Structure 1
Amino acid sequence: MSYETIKLDLTDGVATLTLNRPDRLNALTPHLFDEATAAIDGAIAAGARALVITGEGRAFCSGADLQARGDAGLPSDLGLIVDEAYNPFAKKIAGLDIPVITAINGIAAGAGASIALSGDISVMARSAYVLLAFVNIGLVPDAGATWFVAKGAGRVKALEMALLGEKLFAEDAKEAGLITRVVDDEKVLEEAQAIAAKLARGPTIAIGMIRKQVALALNSSLSENLQIERDNQSAAGKTADFAEAVKAFGEKRPPQFEGR
């Protein structure tokens, strides 16, 4: 299938979704969100067991396209486009049953920062930076940016980034707990895809539960989390992958997980 604003590659269970508007620094439009959502659904239906998100060219994503016109333009009530495009995509990524790896190859600003920080594992180019640019144009963080930064780096860092609207480069983002790894610029996608390939060979059902279990742990009590863990363990223990792991252990060989 051909797309106008994204590219999709599916290889060995790894879907690589590339935001593909390099002339606009991969700025976001409703159509891009529609295409990205359809591509993710199609990739999963075709057997994807891990997802990589990256950007084409020198940017990961510069945020909303402030100069778009027509149907791609911003409405007078920005809450409408948040309701119709930004929030549904953020929830889509959070609700996936496969792991998400972001390959942050360049600037990740505004809602682009939200997408960049939504990865379960995030690989960032040494020269790249994240920027909560909203305050610089009289807006507030959206698409989950407040949650991702506050949960990852804490209240103080979230307020610093959101109020000052300054660039946070890769090493500082890692130190703040916002991203996972920093690599040389030319190795970002390679590293992200290698991680995704490892996860795609793993016990997919358990991995899907792990990513949601951790998210729930951020907002639940110990007692609530213990029950979540108990319920997930019950389900994981009934999978074919667990049965394969037990068999492989007895046969002294690596398990061959099929994601079932």
Structure 2
Amino acid sequence: MASIEVSIADHIAKITLNRPESFNSFNREMALLLQSKLDECKSNDDVRAIILTGNGKAFCAGQDLKEVTSPELNPGFRKILEEHYNPIVERIRAIEKPIIAAVNGVAAGAGANLALACDIVVAHEHAAFIQAFSKIGLIPDSAGTFFLPRLIGFQKASALMMLGDKVSATEAESLGMLYKVFEADTFEEEVHKLANTIAKMPTKALGLTKRLLNQSLTNDLTQQLNLESDLQIEAAESEDYAEGVKAFIEKRKPVFKGK
């Protein structure tokens, strides 16, 4: 059984973490395979939206502690971070296509922070988020200390990381940690509906928007204004912009091609 499953339909790539027996915790094989699958989605022009989700009861429990406590299997923390999680986060942010984290269950440790690195986070009503690192004497990684304070504020992020509190899906939504919570009975349907909507949008413009958001984390105002100018010119040269304007004039729904 592959630790990562991928299906592509209707311009949507669904990437499923598939180690349900260990709550989709990461070992080296799974981390490297996820990187490979993200690369494939990036280069596949047919893919215009990506869903990242988990199989079974959990989204992702973070690092497989059996691996790091095994004398034979343990790659060491430097290799785990520099070859596993950091490259995954960098890929999530660099792919200029919308990535939806569909958090179907518990997201703990690195699993929570990988979800927060995605463009849109939605959650099953019974999902939960846990910055579990302090429970075992570690510090938050996988860009958690970068994204979480920016999403919910310094004080709240500091408390959640130090105390390791379990945050319900509804509380996470109220904090601004995620976009929406979907009810259990309609979770899969709502995730697909969201992905289908965004896959039909102007992918080029969405990718440029993602680039702007990435740069906004470090740019000053003048740098950001200049980048907006440059990328707006690039967007205005796209086929989707021409179609969008034409459809507006003709009073019809645009048919974007993601170009």
TM range (shorter): over 0.9
Q: Which residue of 1 aligns with 2:2?
A: 4
Instruction: Say whether the 8 Å CA contact 1:60–1:112 is kept in structure 2.
Output: yes
Q: After the TM superposition, which of the residue ranges 41-50 and 118-127 deviates more from structure 2?
A: 41-50
Deviation of 1:29 (Å)? 1.4
Q: Tell me the SS of whatever aligns to 2:66.
A: coil
Does residue 108 of the first structure (1) align with residue 107 of the second (2)? yes
Instruction: Say whether the 8 Å CA contact 2:60–2:108 is kept in structure 1.
Output: yes
Q: After the TM superposition, which of the residue ranges 149-158 and 64-73 deviates more from structure 2?
A: 64-73
Deviation of 1:43 (Å)? 3.4
In 1, Cα distance between the equivalents of 2:58 and 2:73?
A: 21
In 1, Cα distance between the equivalents of 2:221 and 2:71?
A: 46
Q: Which residue of 2 aligns with 1:27?
A: 25
Deviations 1:29-57 (A, max 9, x none): 12112211222233342611000000000
Q: Which residue of 2 aligns with 1:154?
A: 153
Q: Rate the CA distance shift 1:71–1:200 in 2: closer, same or farther, 3 A.
A: farther
Instruction: Say whether the 8 Å CA contact 1:29–1:73 is kept in structure 2.
Output: no
Please give the root-mean-square deviation of Cα atoms over the aligned residues, in Å: 1.7
Deviation of 1:8 (Å)? 0.7
Q: Which residue of 2 aligns with 1:75?
A: 75
Is there any run of 5+ residues in structure 1 with no aligned partner, and where? none
Q: Which residue of 1 aligns with 2:93?
A: 94
Deviations 1:175-209 (A, max 9, x none): 11111101112333322221111111111110001
Q: Which residue of 1 aligns with 2:222?
A: 223
Q: After the TM superposition, which of the residue ranges 151-160 and 38-47 deviates more from structure 2?
A: 38-47
Deviation of 1:72 (Å)? 8.8
Q: Which residue of 2 aligns with 1:213?
A: 212
Instruction: Say whether the 8 Å CA contact 1:6–1:36 is kept in structure 2.
Output: yes
Q: Tell me the SS of whatever aligns to 1:68.
A: helix
**TM-score of the two chains, using structure 1 as the length reference:** 0.94
Q: After the TM superposition, which of the residue ranges 211-220 and 19-28 deviates more from structure 2?
A: 211-220
Q: Tell me the SS of whatever aligns to 2:100.
A: strand
Seq. identity, %: 36
**TM-score of the two chains, using structure 2 as the length reference:** 0.94
